[in-house]
Amino acid sequence: MTIMFNKPSTSPAAPRERTARVHFTDLCAGYPGRPVLHQLNAEITGLATTALVGPNGSGKSTLLGALAGVIRPTSGELLHAGDLPPAFVPQRGAVGDTLPLTVRQTVQMGRWGERGPWRRLTRRDHAAVDAALDRLGIGDLAPRQLGELSGGQRQRTLIAQGLAQESDLLLLDEPTTGLDPEARERIGALLTALVADGVTVVHATHDLGAARAADACLLLQDGRLAGQGRPDQVLTTSALARIWQTL
């Protein structure tokens, strides 16, 4: 099993091209006594949005965890074309409403990778937090408790935490689940804008509308890759019916 980070080219004035940001070959991963992913071969294109689609238990969250480095592959090769660690935004339910955290404190947690949880944040850290709050349009919510927020506000707070890490690879687990149509549309527009600013976005989703709006799609079934490519090529009526009829 190999995990590698390669430094990007520093050539000046080079045009932005969509090349592979992450590439994995024969990737296997899972949990003790429970393998989940089985010999996946695919790549995540840089400067694009990739949707991970599949039924519950298909391996979407496990693949995100492997890409984020929080789940260690058991075999295969995982290559990152860059030296910045990914920013991982878990499902909203992974952060309890009862935690006595403000919006600002939650976003500040995104700087812990640089500073550690017990060291005082620097001026640069505070600037990164302020920029993330402003980008998500939640600066006015900074002093409020997480438990006081709507679903859409809470999700924007978690994405701001990811942005505060200043990575060029943002991984999101079900970012629009449980949100109303307006909040889903706002999150979708934000992800599009982030890609335009040079961030590669990968998100797991059950929302076929959000998946079809992505640049690329990986379709998973029982921990195996059932399709990859443009959403209009992968998310066909026959492919979706075949996968969901097997449940």
Model confidence over 116-174: pLDDT tens digits? 667 889 999 999 999 999 999 999 999 999 889 998 999 999 999 999 999 999 999 99
Q: What is the pLDDT of residue 113?
A: 81
Domains for the chain: give ranges and CATH numbers.
Answer: 20-86+169-247 (3.40.50.300), 95-166 (no CATH)
Task: pLDDT band for 100, please (50, 70, 90 cuts).
Answer: confident
Which pTM was predicted?
Answer: 0.89
Q: Mean of the pLDDT values across residues 18-28?
A: 95
12 contacts 72 by C-beta, under 8 angstroms: no
CA distance 204 to 245: 20
Contacts 24+ apart (CB under 8 A), 83-87: 83/5, 83/6, 83/7, 83/8, 84/166, 84/167, 84/168, 84/169, 85/5, 85/113, 85/165, 85/167, 86/167, 86/169, 86/170, 86/171, 87/162, 87/163, 87/165, 87/166, 87/167, 87/169, 87/170, 87/171
Task: pLDDT band for 98, please (50, 70, 90 cuts).
Answer: low
Q: What is the pLDDT of residue 91?
A: 83
Handedness of CA 234, 203, 175, 127 (dihedral sign): negative
Task: pLDDT band for 96, please (50, 70, 90 cuts).
Answer: low
Task: pLDDT band for 10, please (50, 70, 90 cuts).
Answer: very low
